[in-house]
Each structure stands twice: as C-alpha cells, then as structure tokens.
Structure 1
Amino acid sequence: MKRPVFKSASIISAILFATTACAQPSSTQTITRSVSQNAPATGQSTPIKNPAVKSTATTANVTIAIDSRLRQTLTQAGIKAQIISIAPSNLPNLYQVSLVGQPPLHITADGKYVIQGELQKNPSKRQVTKTPTRSNSAQIGMPVSAAVKSAMLANMSELKNMSAKTPFFYTAVPGVIWGATLEGVPFLIADDAQYVTDGEISVIENGQFTGLDENFEKRKNQSVFKSLDQSQLITYPATGTEKAVVYVATDVNCPYCRMLHKQMGSLNKKGVTVKTIGYPIYEQSPEQMRGIWCQADATSRRKALDKAMLKGQMTPAPANCKVNYVTPNREKAAGLAVVATPAIYRDDGVLFQASFESPEFLEFLGVE
C-alpha cells in the first residue's frame, strides 16, 4: 500500500492500514490546530477577485517561463482543478499555485517537489529575525543544527507541543523543515518559523506523482534510528547468518502487534534481527511497558515482552525501578511519524506499507 500523495487521501490510507495495525489515536492539540485557533490561513497578500476566471498573468516575481513550466507540469501530472494563479509562496523556494475548489499547491521551480495545504501564519512574536543558512542536498533527512533549532523554537512560543524534544529535519526544499509533535503528527514549517502547514512533500517524476519523497523519508528514518538508545531496544537477534534488520514500533495491547510477535521465532530463523521500539498508544500501555523495560537484563526483558505479547500477562516493574526506560526512545521515535502499530521499518529507513501477513513481507525483508 502506497502512502498517499496528498493528505486528502490520508484518511482512506489510515482505514486501510488499520486492517493489520492499531491506529494511533488522534492528538487533540496538534501544531496545526494550535495555529489555526490563533491565526487565519494565509496564501498570498494579493487577493483574487474573481476565482472563476483563470489567470494567465504572471506576477513580478514569477517569470513567464516558470509560470508556463509549472502549469504544464501539473496538467501532465493529472491536476484537473483550474489553476487561478501562480505566485511566490510564503514557504521558501516554492511557488504557490492557487486552485479552484481545492487547497493550494506549493511547488519548486523545477516542478519536482509539491506540497498541498493552506499555510498558517505563526502568531508567535518573532524573536530571531536573521534568516538561517539554507540546507543543501547532503543534509536531506538530517536533524537540523542546534543553532537552527534554537532559533526556530525562539520564534514558536505561541505554538503548542513545541519543545527542545520536538524533532526537526531538513527536507529536499531548502528552507522548508519537516517536524513532528511528540505524538508523531507531522508538519512542515519555514526555517524562520513564520509559516506552517500540515501537508507533506510529494514528488513528481516523469510527469507523474509518485507519492511522498521516499529519499527524504528513508534518510530521516535512518537519522531517527541512529538517535535511538540501542540498549533500550528489546532485540531479537537472527539465529545463524543475519540477512536483515528491522525496527518495529510496538504496543503490548495492540492485537496486530501480538500477531506479528507470534512470528518472531520464524523471522529470527530466517535471519531477521528484530529491534523493538516501545511505542505505547493505548491508555494502559505506558506503565505496563515501563514494567517490561524495567527488567534487569536483555534476556529478562525479552521474556517479559514475550509473556505480554503471547499470553497477555504483564510483568510489573520491580519496586526499586523508578525510571521510565521507554519514554526517551518513544520521544525520539516521534520522528518516524508512526500512523499505526506495528510500524515496521528496514534498517535502511523504508517503511513496510502492507500487511505483514502478505507474501510481500518476506520479499520486503529480502528473505525466503
């Protein structure tokens, strides 16, 4: 199952995904709701007086060549909605394409990268006015620098769910940053934090939409894996020659996670090492999973997780364990933007987007 090109399809995607996954509960305080409660959606400063009439004029900042190229690219890619106008976007290095009856598109000059969504003006007082050094292609999928993150957070005081723990990553569009709330809700924001949208970046290749930017997703996920505390993953090593490594975000109360866990022995025998990220989404799960992760050593943790997954029996935390070993990796894993559990990733960052009960699963892992 492919992830949707535009967010209008994301609800359908979530419904399909839920047939073999436990859906992540919706956050009631996402970044976009916070912004929309404080500021109106904004496009360009020049109002469109007659949206029923197609505009063929170019603005002072859009050349005829770019205007023509973008119209041709979008038409070829299957955009049927009437294009009203094309003007510079409030997101860096993008042009806003206003459409009749649909949210606007924001597209790069070469027509490769596209975002669909209304932009929201950040209502926070701007504390840092200097434009940061823009990212380059080598930084795609990497966490933003400490200086950029500090400057962005300084300009986001009125936005909910934003903190030093919020993950931010460079995208393929210089000046556009991918972020996620700690609940795993993704958003895009300008690197000066002035405009934000809940859209994601899609790609047009060979005249067709191909889905989300897979190169970015892979590199971002690899960055997340590198940030995890490996000692706090419950790992089931391959028996014999290791042929594949996967990361699985799991919850002990998710029935589909339990179904996948029943395959653990078989996967290990096929040469698959499984690294389990504690990712509680059910209300009762955080404390139950803390108990499992509080066990004395790796073997004890595996036994406790097996007991929970295979028998539904939870192991309480020892009286002397007052810490929570699950939360730090769970917060870092927000950068994976998990939609539902179990979320299964190869160690190269690719998310498996079908049922783990399908024949495609072993093909995805490269084993027989």
Structure 2
Amino acid sequence: MPFVLPLLGLAVFAQGTSEFMLSGLLPGIARDLHISVPAAGSLTSAFAVGMVIGAPLMAMLSMRWSRRRALLAFLIVFLLVHVLGAVTTHYGVLLATRIVAALANAGFLAVALATATAMVAPDAKGRATSVLLGGTTMACVAGVPAGALLGELWGWRSAFWAVALMSLPAALAILRSVPADPAPQFADAGPGPRGQLRALRGPRLVVLLLLGALVNGATFCAFTYLAPLVTDVTGIGAGWVPAVLALFGLGSFVGAGLGGRLADTRPVPLLATGGAALLLGWTVLALTAGNPVAALVLVFVQGALSFAVGSTLVSQVLYAATGAPSLGGGFATAALNVGAAIGPWCGGAALTAGFGFRSPLWVSALLTALALVLAGVAHGARRRTVRHGAPSAQDAPA
C-alpha cells in the first residue's frame, strides 16, 4: 500500500471525529453561545445534510482538477473552517462553518476514494477502501471520546483546534505524494459529468448504493441510541457509556480491516454471510440487551459485522463504477450518509412512538432485512437475465 494512504486515512479520521464529536460538546456550545441545546444539535443536522448534498456535487466540481489539487483544496478549506469555528462567538457563523466543513469533507472523501483505488493494483480496491474507512471507525474508537475529554478539560473550542491540527500531516503528505498533474494512473478520468451520471444509472450500481444506505442506516440507528440502551435496558452505569461506544468503534475498526482483506477476493460470500449474521445479531441483541455480558459481546460483534459489510459494499461500488471513476466515490459517500441520517431518524420515531429503548435495534434488524430482500431480488433478476442472454458488464456479478 502506498504510504500516502494511511495519511489520507488520518484526514478521514479527523473528518469523522469532526462529524461525530459534537454529541459530547453540545452542552458546552449551548452555554458558551447562549443558545438552546436543540439549537446546538442542529449543528449536527447541518453537517449531515452537507455531506449528503456535497458528495456528488463536490465530486463533479473537482472533475476538472488534478486529484492533488482537489484533495488539498478540500482539506485546507476543512482545516480553515475549523479554525474559524474555534474562534467565533456567533452561532450563525458556527452553523455556516459546519455546512462548509461537511461539503469539504464530502468532496475530500469522494476524491480520496478515487485516488486510493487508482494508486493500488486493480484487484486491491477493497484493501484501499478499508484503509480510508478505517479512519472513520477510529473516529468512533478514539476521536469522539477524545473530543469529549478535550471539551471537559479545555472547552469545546479545543476539540475544533485539535481537528484542524490533525489535518496538517495529511495536507503535507498529499503535497509530497500525490502527483500534481494527471499521472498515468490518474489520466483516465472517464467521461464527462453527463456520461458518468448515465453510467451510475446501471442496475448493479443502483442496487449497491441502496444496499449501502440500508446497511449504514441500520448501523447508525443502533449506534446513535446505544447510550440509553445500555443505561436503561442493560443496566450499565452512565460512566461506562464512552467505553461501550468505543467498544462498538473497536469492532468497527476490526471489521473494516478484515473486510478489506476479503472484499477483493470473496465479496459475494462476505456480503451474503455477513448480511445474514447482521440480521441475526441485531435480533439477538434486541432480545438479550438486558444481559450485560451478551450486550457487550454483541456490541463489538455488530460493530465488526456492520463495517465489514459496509466497507465491502463501498469497494463494490468502486469496482462497478468503471464508467464513473470520479463520481462513483461521491455517490458512495452520499449513500452512506443518507443511511446515517435516515437510520437515527427511524430509531427516534420508534422511541417517540413509545416502543422503548430496544426498538432502535428492531429498526436496525428491519433495515438489514430489507437489504437482504433487495439483494435477493436483484440476484434473482440477474440470474433471469443470464438465462435469457449474456449480461452487460454493468450487470455482471462482482
């Protein structure tokens, strides 16, 4: 693996920390800026919306740039708006920085996925993808708890400064290691935006994007409501909540790494068995959440399975998006963030309806079941297509 890939993963770690860290900083932000906690919470929603909208738009914007220029531009904008967020005393300015940071984050991740997979062998896209997504999982393991700790020790602004500082090594690595002009491995940028958008309408790509959204929706539905689950259902003290969240993140890191090893060689068995295991795991966790040992084991296992399956789906999008090399990563990023927005909303709706703190786990099981049904229907349609004639490259199995 090229040395620049782990440093791109560091940038993704900083960006993932920025996306998730506000959950531990909202009270401090609300007090300091003299706003309500719900108003502070809208900073998280603004970031999520910016990620969904920004991924395809920023990928299209950067298509005429060299990848070094695009990565540097997005990362420097991300760094600067965190500096601005760390010094502002105005809520409106902070809200604007979250939107701009999300746009830069989405653009960076989309281009980084395309860059990483272009810098490795054609059959190593899964491993390259797992390195980048490993940054997101490490944000759950270490970044979010560290951000909360910084907020407790030195105030919420220190967490913003830390995110900005973590982005510097990646910017230097991009400047030194990513070619300035389209090098041979980057020269084939594919057709223009319209041609790439047409390529993204291929049935296989659409199915993979929908599966990514559903699986990530299930993941973040459960993750968002783990704290009340373990305190009110499992009976673990509130002081252990950060450790439980870190345990889920540690499982995610392990799953992304293991998934990256298998995604290039055995993606279909991994997705089939991993998807079925995910459904079983969410169901068993919902039923046994009152048992602390079972709950802790399953939190780790579900984190690992979620990111093994999720990272494999992202790599399969990149394999399938040969006709849209620039936009494939952008739409994969958007699909994951659609899931990250819809999943917690569905879990919250179940809680509002009075179904209790186990209900988000049942929602996660339902979303996973929908993904398995969709995959089964798509597989059946593909087999019927094969029986009636050879499939196109876009529809062929991975």
- TM-score norm. by structure 1 comes to 0.26
The structure carrying a bigger strand percent of its residues is: 1
Larger helix percent: 2
Larger radius of gyration: 1
* Bigger relative CO (Cα 8 Å, ≥ 6 apart): 2
